[in-house]
């Protein structure tokens, strides 16, 4: 399946996790950029005025010139943009029978609120959990091309019952890494300085999850916060400043490992997100696995919210060394009126491809979309030799296309297609548990590094590959254990692209 180069084409498809928490009704409002031509961005209006100046001191306070109002763009009134969104939804939406017969655009003060109203019935049915939305293309393109985002550089998990906040992952060479945060660090308090710290308990008591992400501030480079944390028993309160950085899709340290168990080599790969820069990292990983004759593999997708379909297809190809050119990796199905765009994607052998005898995918309820696509694609070919390890997955078997209104900088992401495997299975809106060949329940163990043989999920994955017994993941259940059931990655009400694709990122 190809990503179209021209964004006006329906094949411009991404598949990723959208924040599905039911109480986050106002998410994904952000500035929009037409991807078809970045140069078509409207320039921001600015004032030529300012304090009057001249030779000498007149003793008179000058009056600043007024800032002129932005020039309206033809066709970009809110009502016109809503009408455009209505037309796009009516033409492309995967579930047209759920759209309102007579929508009332006038009752909504923003485009994103109106789009949310159009998907309300599908959302109530669990088929579109804010998967259709308005987004920022400038931000989106920067992320998909290199993982670019402005943040502290860690991923956070919140326990709203116990009122605790943990670091699940720290990205390399970021402000958070330099400030001493590590996987398993607990954040105790947040403030704009050391003198106005508020405890995590008080923030949650006051505003729930919102209290935390509001305290952490906007995703703006240069924004600083004092963050008290305890790491390895030591407490510190560094000032940490957000900056732009590129998120490595495969961790630079131990993202690729070769583990050994009872004389067998096991390949381990931690893939954070499906973006363009993942391609060379994936090829390098599988080149190593191939060179070492590895046919038992662990793919760690526990926090991977999705991303590019083409990158997911590459991962499938790298795992499909035993397949031939007629074997189906996936089917893409549009609504009947758009069936001319349906596509069959077959496995494509790569120089680095391997032929796994057994596969273990480490997942959580935050593993979604492109992550689920890969798992689902491999199930028909490996059956009981392929398993999910951890908990149930998120449940997003659908993908978006991009429809742009370039003059207004509007991009509408519309659920327009469903991804199915070779068995024509693509109905896992409640997750993949019960739909894979096997599954093993395991905890996300913050006390050990991901990929360590001592970490609970990695240990369970190794045990599965070695043929040892385990407790299956219950279908429809997202609880890993009594200890971890109440924990979830922290996602703001209106997440950035990085926070959708790499949930928990701040």
Whether residue 506 lies inside any domain: the answer is no
In a domain, 483, yes or no: no
**Which has the minimum average pLDDT: 40-54, 319-333, 390-404?**
40-54
The whole-angstrom separation of Cα 187 and Cα 231 is 9
Asked whether residue 237 falls in the same domain as residue 358, the answer is no
CATH of the domain at 392: 3.90.226.10
67 has pLDDT over 80: no
Q: What share of the chain is helix, strand, coil (3-state, %, to 5)?
A: 25, 25, 50
Instruction: Please tell me whether residues 348 and 449 are part of one structural domain.
Output: yes
Asked if residue 343 and residue 288 are part of one domain, the reply reads yes
* 60 — pLDDT class (breaks 50, 70, 90): very low
Q: Assess whether 304 and 447 both reside in one domain.
A: yes
pLDDT > 90? residue 75? no
Of 198, 224, 246, the one marking the end of a domain is: 246
Q: What is the pLDDT of residue 497?
A: 81
Asked if residue 274 belongs to a domain, the reply is yes
Clarify whether residues 206 and 292 are in a common domain.
no
102 or 3: which leads in pLDDT: 102
- Band of pLDDT at residue 408, cut at 50, 70 and 90: confident
Sign of CA dihedral 186, 189, 190, 195: negative
- Count of other CB atoms within 10 angstroms of residue 25: 13
Q: Check which CATH number belongs to the domain holding 211 and give it.
A: 2.30.42.10
Same-domain status, 181 and 260: no
Q: Provide the residue range defining the domain that includes 222.
A: 150-246
DSSP string of 461-475, one letter each residue = HHHHHTT---PPPPT
CA distances from 474 to 22, 162, 308 (A): 22, 25, 29
Residues 237 and 262 in one domain: no
Q: Model confidence over 283-336: pLDDT tens digits?
A: 999 999 999 999 999 999 999 999 999 999 999 999 999 999 999 999 999 999
What is the C-alpha to C-alpha distance for residues 263 and 266, in angstroms, rounded to an integer?
A: 10
CA distances from 194 to 31, 190, 236, 477 (A): 33, 8, 11, 41
DSSP state letters, 268-324: EEE---B-TTHHHHHHHHHHHHHHTT--EEEEE-TT--EEEHHHHHHHHHHT-TT--
Q: By mean pLDDT, which of 35-49, 317-331, 455-469 is the weakest?
A: 35-49
Mean pLDDT, rounded, for 81-98 = 97
Beta strands in 13-97 (DSSP E): 13-16
> Does residue 40 surpass a pLDDT of 70?
no
- Choose the final residue of a domain: 193, 226, 246: 246
Residue 41 confidence class, pLDDT cut points 50, 70, 90 = very low
Q: Is residue 198 part of a domain?
A: yes
Q: What domain count does the chain have?
A: 2
């Amino acid at each position: 399946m190809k990503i179209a180069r021209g964004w006006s084409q329906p094949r411009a498809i991404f598949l990723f996790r959208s924040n599905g928490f039911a109480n986050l009704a106002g998410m994904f409002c952000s500035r929009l950029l037409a991807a078809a031509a970045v140069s078509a961005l409207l320039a921001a209006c600015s004032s030529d005025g300012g304090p009057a100046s001249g030779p000498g001191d007149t003793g008179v306070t000058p009056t600043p010139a007024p800032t002129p109002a932005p020039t309206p763009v033809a066709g970009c009134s809110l009502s016109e943009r809503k009408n455009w969104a209505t037309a796009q939804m009516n033409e492309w939406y995967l579930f047209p029978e759920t759209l309102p017969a007579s929508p009332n655009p006038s009752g909504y003060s923003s485009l994103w609120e109106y789009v949310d109203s159009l998907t309300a019935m599908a959302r109530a049915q669990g088929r579109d959990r804010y998967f259709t939305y308005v987004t920022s293309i400038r931000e989106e393109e920067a992320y998909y091309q290199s993982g670019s985002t402005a943040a502290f550089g860690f991923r956070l998990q919140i326990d709203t019952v116990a009122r605790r906040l943990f670091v699940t992952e720290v990205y390399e060479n970021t402000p958070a890494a330099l400030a001493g945060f590590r996987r398993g660090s607990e954040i105790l308090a947040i403030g704009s300085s050391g003198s106005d710290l508020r405890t995590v308990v008080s923030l949650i008591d006051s505003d729930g999850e919102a209290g935390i992400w509001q305290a952490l501030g906007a995703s703006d480079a240069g924004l600083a916060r004092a963050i008290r944390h305890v790491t390895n028993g030591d407490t510190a309160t560094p000032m940490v400043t957000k900056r732009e950085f590129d998120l490595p899709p495969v961790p630079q340290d131990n993202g690729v490992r070769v583990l050994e168990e009872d004389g067998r080599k096991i390949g381990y790969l931690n893939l954070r997100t499906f973006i363009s820069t993942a391609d060379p990292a994936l090829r390098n990983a599988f080149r190593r696995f191939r060179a070492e004759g590895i046919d038992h593999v662990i793919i760690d997708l526990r926090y991977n919210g999705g991303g590019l379909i083409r990158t997911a297809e590459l991962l499938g190809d790298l795992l499909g060394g035993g397949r031939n050119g007629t074997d189906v990796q996936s089917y893409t199905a549009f609504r009947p009126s758009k069936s001319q765009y349906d596509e069959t994607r077959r496995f494509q052998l790569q120089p680095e491809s391997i032929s796994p005898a057994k596969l273990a995918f480490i997942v959580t309820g935050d593993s979604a979309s492109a992550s689920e696509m890969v798992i689902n694609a491999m199930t028909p070919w490996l059956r009981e030799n392929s398993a999910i390890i951890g908990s149930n997955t998120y449940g997003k078997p659908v993908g978006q296309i991009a429809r742009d209104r370039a003059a207004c900088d509007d991009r509408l992401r519309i659920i327009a297609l469903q991804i199915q495997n070779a068995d024509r299975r693509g109905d896992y809106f409640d997750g993949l548990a019960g739909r894979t060949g096997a599954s093993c329940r395991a905890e996300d163990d913050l006390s050990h590094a991901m990929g360590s043989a001592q970490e609970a999920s990695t240990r369970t994955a190794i045990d599965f590959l070695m043929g040892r017994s385990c407790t299956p993941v219950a279908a429809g259940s997202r609880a890993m254990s009594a200890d971890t059931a109440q924990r979830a990655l922290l996602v703001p009400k209106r997440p950035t692209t990085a926070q959708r694709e790499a949930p928990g990122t701040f």
